[in-house]
Every structure is written in structure tokens, then in C-alpha cells.
Structure 1
């Protein structure tokens, strides 16, 4: 079992607000820290705070609504009581913004390890360990050491005292890998930290549209969304709503306008995924709902084409597309990610954008036929990928 302890006591320079309250990557700093630890496997989190301003309390409520187990400790003794003596514990220092690479390297070590930085002028704000090394704000220990330290702490600073205790116990030095590692000590350093976070690689999707069109657009727009504190769920469900509006327009005889709106769904969803990834927020059911609503929009378009003398065959075509999608869904679950797949394989966004040239010539039935052929070829390739993965399984 892994627990996380986040220290949230220090105030920003000259503002009188806690570092933990600062806005970062579309959420507060404390949320960024908590979601990072949870993404690495921390099953419950303890926040060490001396006061709870409204912004911090609201952040804790949001974390709990998202299913994270978060406890508040008002002093060191309470924090120690909330961690089992045999539990592994990772401590994240006050105001530290870290990348997952830092945390993964630390957690690969046995209990009693410190993330370290070289003692250079650029690292002058980090706490010194010895003449050549500074502490990188992350430490790995066990609950028993936290409890014994809390028992003898008195008025001493928890971070520094734990650091010395871990060092006395023979902690391993773990050099920080390349990545994002910073101290958010004031509001004016946040833009640079967010730019560093924005340069971090996230899921760029698997399709050609994702890689070539959506991902670059999301990289450009993500900083704006983060500065506006827009939650990724707004983008994710907004993408679902766009397809729903497109289906409604198709039903009333405006499929061209509907297609243009549906094409916006992909970039909006990609932006939501990027903002969520930068803030270590897990995705929900939005992707499945996009497919479900797209299926309803397809049926709406089919009905409109039938009403326009396309004949009953258009329903058979729509049924074939939906059946192929069900078959592909099973293969996607088995193949999984992040195993690389060819970029030309059919997905929801390629299906939507692929209709554009046919819509320009009012050849909707031909477009649906081309979509079905593309999905059939994708299914055949997916079967090969499934067979290959099955052969690799022990």
C-alpha cells in the first residue's frame, strides 16, 4: 500500500495566500499534487495544513468528488495517525510541482529514498543535503518513521526534520531525471511552470487526424484553457454535445451544417484530453458517449436520406456501419493502448471528417459506403493485431 503526504503550510511571497491555493494547469496546486500521487498508485492522501481557506477546502471537495481518498491533518500528530506504520509513504514538499518521471524513479527504490538535485546556482532555492546535493522535494519512507518523527518533533519543521531522519537512516540518493520539477513559491513563476508542463508529452491519440491536426491545436490552446481554469470535463462533454447538435440538424434536413459542427467535436475532445493529462486527471465515459451519440446522429442522417428517396438500402448501410463499430470496439479493448497501431485505421473522427468531400457533392450515401469499406478494412487489420497480441501472451 502506498500513501501520500502533501505539505500545504507555506504562504506565497508577498500575497498572504497558501502556495497550495495557486492556480496551476486548470486547477489549484494542491489538486495537481494530489492527482499526481494518485496516478502513481497512492491509495489515500493526507494533506498537512494549518489553516483551511475556502479555496483549499473547495479543492479538497473536488478531489473527493472525483473519488480520491483525501484526509486533512491539522498537525503532524494527526498526519502520523492517518498513516499505517507498515505503509509506504511518499512525501511531496510544500509547493513542489513534479513530473511523473520523478515520482516513478523514486518509487522504484526501497523505502528510504530521496530525490536529489546537484548543488548548482540554478537549484539554490532547494534545501541543501550536503556540500554537493540538494533535496528535490520528494522523499520515500514508511509510516513507522513518520510516527517516531512526529513523537519527537516538538516545534521543529516536519519537512526538514523528516529529511534529516531519512538521511540518518541511510536513505538512497535518487538523481532527478529530466522533466518538470519546480517550486511554486509565488504567482509570477506559474507561467513558466505551466509552459514546462505544456511541453510534456501527453496522449496525442492514435489516428492521423489526432496526430496531425488535433494534437497541435490542443498544444496551442491548452495553456489558454489552463489559465482560464476550465475543467477538462467541459471540453469532453462539449464534444459530445456538438455531435448531438449535428444529429439534430441532420434530422431536420441540415446535414451539411451538422457535419461542420460535428467536425469540431474532435479538436474539442483532444483539448479536453490534453488538459486532463497535464493535470493528471483521469478521463471519464465521455469517449464512449461520443460514439453512442454519433450512432444516434448516424441514424438521424439515415432517416433523412431515406426521406429524400435514398431507399431502404441506406438503413442496411447504417446497420453495417454500427455492426462494424461493435466488432471494432471489442478488438480495441483487447489490443489496448499504448500499443502503436497504424494511423490510417478508422475511428470516430476519421469517419466524421471523411464524409466532408462527399458532403460537398451531396453524395451522402456514397460517403456512408466509403465509411463502411474503411471500417471493414480496419476490422481486418484489427483482427491481425489481435492475433499478434494473443500469440505474445503467455
Structure 2
């Protein structure tokens, strides 16, 4: 059982009336972003350690709780220890820490008590020294018993620092944070302006977890560039859904007018909008909308393939194009239902319009349909082999 412990005790440097944890980040607040990352690794119970409670903090914790996470605000290690199951593992997040989902997943996947550390002199920001060569990087995984150890000490001890000391004394495994990550995407920020600058790099990194080649080389770079701008302007996630749907509808019209190149290009614009919107929805805790946007991507891709087959059939008078299109869709549906981890080269719904577009541009969409069908068939074949290897 994983429990999150987020510290929200320090004031913002440029806003003394506000806690650093409640500074704007990612269209919400920093603590909501931290809670979002923790929820993504399976944390269903969040402890928020505070020295004072502000209206902004109450609002943030209420929004976190509305997304299905149990939230308890605690003022001491004794309160925290009383709220946690004795066998729970606690993911500790330092006050005002900005990080990425990949780093959170790393610390959460550890099976032993662990501390994330930085090496002195590598340019990464350390919070507190743990030995003569390393400093704490703001994340830890500790057993619930460690909270009880801190609770047994004098109450005037700093909760966060003492918890770190107890983990070091227990010989927690030290995980070294890569220097490049620490310089750009990981660190403590209590200044609103500095937090905004760092957020652009962190938000751009959110799409890095998508491993398919279509995402890695096409849609993730687009998301990385557009997402910080959308967040900075407060664009709602549903706006991306509307934009994606509009481009998808326009692609249908263009394909119906026997303009396959223009139609496929327009469908890809719609898919890019929905891909960015899905990430924006995830960031703001709108999981249902994010899943809906991913499904719309599948629908637009399927319609683009089928209508391209219809276009080829109408132009040539034969049924080859439509047969190839239906074969592609059948293989794609089966691939989506196979219970195996996706490999980078496997087909995704968005890959098929990408394959069709160059062939349509040069005037041979039937070639694109043939390549798309072969690609889908090779992907489902590889998935079946993977199931056979690991039944």
C-alpha cells in the first residue's frame, strides 16, 4: 500500500501571504501537480504536512480529494503516524518540489527504503546534505514505521528534516538523480516567476512517457511545444477536444470530396490537437476527458483509413482499396485488445494516417493502404508471438 506525504509548510519567496505549495503550476497549483504524480503511481491516500492552513491550501486539497484521493492534513509526525497503516510504504515529497512522472515512478518502484540524492557539484539543487558527497533531492520512500520514529522525538524538531535524518540512519538506499534532470526538470522552487520558467521544461517532459514511435517523433514534440503555452493561457482541456473534432469533421468532408491528401493531413492536425488535449486533461485531473480524447483519436484514424479506401474504390472502380482498409482496421482492433506491453515500433491508431499521407500526396493512396495493412498485420503478429512467449 502506497501513501503520499507532501510537505506544504514554507511561504513563497515573492508572496509571503501564500504557501509555496499553492503557487500556480500546470493550470492548477503545485501541490495538485504533486498529488497528480503520486496518484499516477497508485497512491490513494495523501498526507499533507502543514504549519498553517490557508484558503488556497484548503481549496487545493478539496480538489485533490474530489479526484478520488483521500487527503488528510496533518501538523506533526505524531498525527501523520496515526493516519497511516503500519504496513504502508510512504512516498515523501519535499516542500515545493517540482519533478516529473518518470522520477516519481522510479522512487515508487523501489522495494527498499530509498532516498533520491544529488552529487555535490553536478549543478543539481540539493535540499539537505545526507553525507560528505551527496545531498537529498527531495524524494524518498520510507516505511510507515519511520513516521513513528520521528513522532517519538521532541515535537520542536523539524518534521521534514528529521524524517530525512531517520531514513539516513536506517541506511536507506541512495538513488542518484541524473544531473541533466536536476538542472532542468527537478528541484525546489518557491518563487512564482522561477516556477513558471521551470514549468515549461517539466510540462514538455510529460509526453516523454509515450513510447510509440508516432508519439515519440511526431506528436510528443508537438505536445511539448504547445502544452506550456496552453497552460500559461489557461486554455480549457475541452477546447482541444472541440478543435480535434472540428479538424476530424473537416477531414471527412475533404475525403468525401475525393481529396485524400488534404483529408489525411487535416485528420493528423486533429489527432495532434487531441493528443495535446489528452495530456492537458491528465495534468488537470480530468481522466475521463483524457480517455475520451484518446478514443476520439482512434475514431478519427479509423474513419480516415476507411474513407481513403472508399476514395480508392471510387477512383479505380475496384474493391482493393476498401478491402485493404478493412483489413487494417481489423488488425488494429485486435492489436488494441491484446494484453501485452506495447513495443515502440508497433502500429498505433495514429500511425495509419501518417503512412497513408505520403502515398496520397504522390497520387498513389492504394500503395499507402497496402503498406498500412501490412504494418498492422506485422504488429498483431508480433503481439501474438509475445503472448505465446509469455502465456
Return the TM-score normalized by structure 1. Answer: 0.77
Contact 1:248 1:297 in 2 (8 A): no
Contact 2:360 2:368 in 1 (8 A): no
Q: Which residue of 2 aligns with 1:9?
A: 9
- Name the counterpart of 2:72: 72
Which residue pairs with 1:187 in the alignment?
Answer: 192
Over the aligned positions, Cα root-mean-square deviation in angstroms equals: 4.1
In the TM superposition, what whole-angstrom CA distance separates every residue of 1:237-280 from its partner, at most 9, and x where no partner exists? 64244314544677799999766643321321343356578889
Per the alignment, residue 295 of structure 2 pairs with 288
Q: CA deviation at 1:320?
A: 6.1
**Distance change (3 Å), C-alpha of 1:393 and 1:11:** same
State the partner residue of 1:202.
208
Structure 2 unaligned regions, length at least 5: none
Deviation string 1:284-338 (CA, Å, 9 cap, x unpaired) is: 23222233355567788999999xx879977x96576345313322124427544
Report the number of matched residues.
382
Greater mean deviation of Cα atoms: 322-331 or 156-165: 322-331
User: Is 2:370 the counterpart of 1:393?
Assistant: no
Mapped to 2, the partners of 1:296 and 1:376 lie a distance apart of 15
The answer on whether the counterparts of 2:115 and 2:174 sit within 8 Å (CA) in structure 1 is yes
In structure 2, the partner of 1:324 is 328
Residues 1:219 and 2:220 are matched in the alignment: no
* Alpha carbons 1:92, 1:139 under 8 Å: kept: yes
SS where residue 46 of structure 1 aligns?
strand
Instruction: Give CA deviations for 1:173-209 in whole Å, capped at 9, x if unaligned.
Output: 333334232001111322442344256470466355x
Q: State the Cα deviation string for residues 78-107 of structure 1 (Å, max 9, x = none).
A: 433321111111211101123345445544
8 A contact 2:67–2:285 mirrored in 1:
no
Q: Are residues 1:334 and 2:334 paired?
A: no
Q: Are the structure 2 counterparts of residues 371 and 252 from structure 1 closer, same or farther at C-alpha, using a change threshold of 3 Å?
A: closer
Q: Cα 1:196–1:291, aligned 2, differ >3 Å: closer, same or farther?
A: closer
1:110–1:240: structure 2 CA closer, same or farther, 3 Å change rule? same
Looking at structure 2, the residues matched to 81 and 38 of structure 1 have their Cα atoms a distance apart, in angstroms, of 21
Summarize deviations over 1:312-367 as a string: whole Å, max 9, x none. Answer: 977x965763453133221244275441316xx57445427835875897xxxx74
Name the counterpart of 1:267. Answer: 272
Match of 2:356 in 1: 354
- Report the 3-state secondary structure (helix = DSSP H, G, I; strand = E; otherwise coil) of the residue aligned with 1:285: helix
